[in-house]
Chains A and B, each alone.
Chain A
Amino acid sequence: MKLVTGIIQPHRLDDVKSALEAAGVRGMTVSEASGYGRQKGHTEVYRGAEYTVDLVPKVRLEVLVDDADAETVTDVIVKAAQTGKIGDGKVWTVPVDDVARVRTGEHGAGAL
């Protein structure tokens, strides 16, 4: 199993969600995040005093998938989240040892 994590622009979330649903993904976890990459935040000016705000709002999206689906899901997220501008975010995949469904107690791929 794999955990696909995407850090994306907040305004792309709806499109990414729809695209994942269309690709057959049945669940995901979404949380608010803040951070920066090459984008390096932004600058605000108050009465002439410049403040650099380096952490900008992002959305973190996590999807647990079968090994075979990881690449497809990554591609779906990338395609749906892409605007081509700096600050679009990143998507990465890490292996997952085990998953348990809390309601039934079952383990492994069946719990996905």
Chain B
Amino acid sequence: MDSALNSGDTAWILTASALVLLMTPGLAFFYGGMVRGKSVLNMMMMSFGAMGVVGVVWVLWGYPMAFGTDVGGLFGNPFDGFGLGNLLAEDPEATLPSMAFVGFQATFAIITVALISGAIADRARFGSWLVFAGVWVTLVYFPVAHWVWASDGWIFKYGAIDFAGGTVVHINAGVAGLVLAILLGKRKGFAKEPMRPHNLPFVMLGAGLLWFGWFGFNAGSALAANNSASVVWVNTLVATCAAMLAWLLTEKLRDGSATSLGAASGVVAGLVAITPSCSAVSPIGAIVVGVVAGVLCALAVGLKYRFGYDDSLDVVGVHLVGGLTGTVLIGFLATADAPAGVDGLLYGGGASQLVIQVVSALAVVAFSFVMTMIIGFVIRATMGFRVSEEAEVGGIDLAVHGETAYENIAQGSVIKEVRS
């Protein structure tokens, strides 16, 4: 029996999948460094916990729900292909094995859930978070991934461009983060006591790992080792460079210093904004996307103080704002010369693509907002979502995980006995 399998494509996608999976531990460092020393382990465990829950759920019913048999353009049938037993045999006509795509997409579902955790740092019950992760990815992420990326999905058919997940991943996670930040309430002492990032080198390390993995995220989304992936790679590089410079310049002018936290944040803002647009713009367009995202996100992270919601690590300011920026800018900056093959407003393509982009983004915002509100509300009303005030003040690491990250963190406790 002949096989159509393309080994170059398959090798690249398996590699890219591992790159994207590394983004979640990278995110754990990025977020972990930004919280206080008494809650760094919990922050990192929220990312690792998302890997555990979402990885299993994805294999059981996630992939069929996102990419399986279509039900009305809204989601796939979770029972048709439950457990993936139907994908074990090689399809002689496929250039890329289905399982390679399954693995690649699993890593997207994982990081999307992990991103949300930054909005509720220092105060969420770990068990409630794990339940939320499983329910949210099922009822929100899988349907939206189906809408946007499955060939039967309604946003896909509507013609929106979202190459690697501006709507599915970043707008979706950003809105969910906003809702959870509101539902859980502010950290004790928010906007009164200083909550200084306890380890900025961790944040820089995490940003570096995210950037590295993001080449798998974006260039891997070409699902082939080809010209499209290469264009996307360069756009992902240059937009991120530009966004970092733009963030640094913004805070230099506003606050007086170009900070390491600003550089790390600018990197992520640029990566977020180029995610949907990397296949649709030229490298010059990518620089514009990066600059706009860098400036807008640097300004947006202050909104939480004005509106009084404690989006602790700026999931809204970076992922929602960055995701909207990249998704909407496609309508202006898309060029038909790029792999997506569509002209935006500034390239003589008229406003039609812009309208499609805006409508698609708003649909995801609305769906994610309502669904996350319902899920979060039910969990809060049944299991409780927030740790006790005592645990929060004393440090969630010790209270929830029975550990402290550093020797001098344990407060008021003396080790009296060591059991082995």
The reply to whether B255 and A51 form a contact with Cβ atoms under 8 Å apart is no
Selected A-B contacts with CB under 8 Å, 25 pairs: A44-B196, A45-B251, A45-B255, A45-B256, A45-B257, A45-B259, A46-B196, A46-B197, A46-B259, A46-B261, A47-B261, A47-B262, A47-B298, A47-B301, A47-B317, A48-B251, A48-B254, A48-B302, A49-B302, A49-B305, A50-B255, A51-B194, A51-B196, A52-B194, A53-B194
Interface residue count for A (Cβ, 8 Å)? 10
- For the A-B complex with A46-B197, A47-B301 known, give 14 more contacts whose Cβ atoms are closer than 8 Å: A45-B256, A45-B259, A46-B196, A47-B261, A47-B262, A47-B314, A48-B255, A48-B298, A48-B302, A49-B302, A50-B255, A51-B194, A51-B196, A52-B194
Chain A: CB-nearest residue to B257: A45
Q: Which residues of A contact B262 (CB under 8 A)?
A: 47
* CB of B181, distance to nearest CB on chain A (Å): 15
* CB of A89, distance to nearest CB on chain B (Å): 25
Considering the complex of A and B, which 5 residue pairs feature the smallest CB-CB distances, nearest first?
A: A45-B255, A51-B194, A48-B302, A47-B301, A46-B261
Q: How far is the CA of A45 from the CA of B317 in the complex (A)?
A: 17
A/B pair count, beta carbons within 8 Å: 31
Q: How far is the CA of A50 from the CA of B314 in the complex (A)?
A: 16
Does B265 make an interface contact (CB < 8 A)? yes
Q: How far is the CA of A45 from the CA of B301 in the complex (A)?
A: 13
Interface residue count for B (Cβ, 8 Å)? 18
A25-59 CB contacts (< 8 Å) to partner B: 44-53
Query: At the interface, is chain A mostly helix, strand, loop or mixed?
Result: strand
* CB of B321, distance to nearest CB on chain A (Å): 13
Chain B: CB-nearest residue to A47: B301
Of A44, A48, A51, the contact of B301 (CB 8 Å cutoff): A48
Q: Which residues of A contact B298 (CB under 8 A)?
A: 47-48
Q: How far is the CA of A48 from the CA of B254 in the complex (A)?
A: 8
Query: Interface digits, B223-261 against A, CB 8 Å rule (1 contact, 0 not)?
Result: 000000000000000000000000000010011110101
Q: How far is the CA of A51 from the CA of B194 in the complex (A)?
A: 6
Chain B: CB-nearest residue to A53: B194
Interface hub of B196, B254, B256 (most chain A Cβ within 10 A): B196
* CB of B278, distance to nearest CB on chain A (Å): 25
Q: Which residues of B contact A45 (CB under 8 A)?
A: 251, 255-257, 259
* CB of A32, distance to nearest CB on chain B (Å): 14
Q: Which residues of A contact B254 (CB under 8 A)?
A: 48
B172-231 CB contacts (< 8 Å) to partner A: 194, 196-197
Q: Which residues of B contact A53 (CB under 8 A)?
A: 194
Q: How far is the CA of A49 from the CA of B305 in the complex (A)?
A: 9
Interface hub of A45, A48, A50 (most chain B Cβ within 10 A): A48
Chain B: CB-nearest residue to A45: B255
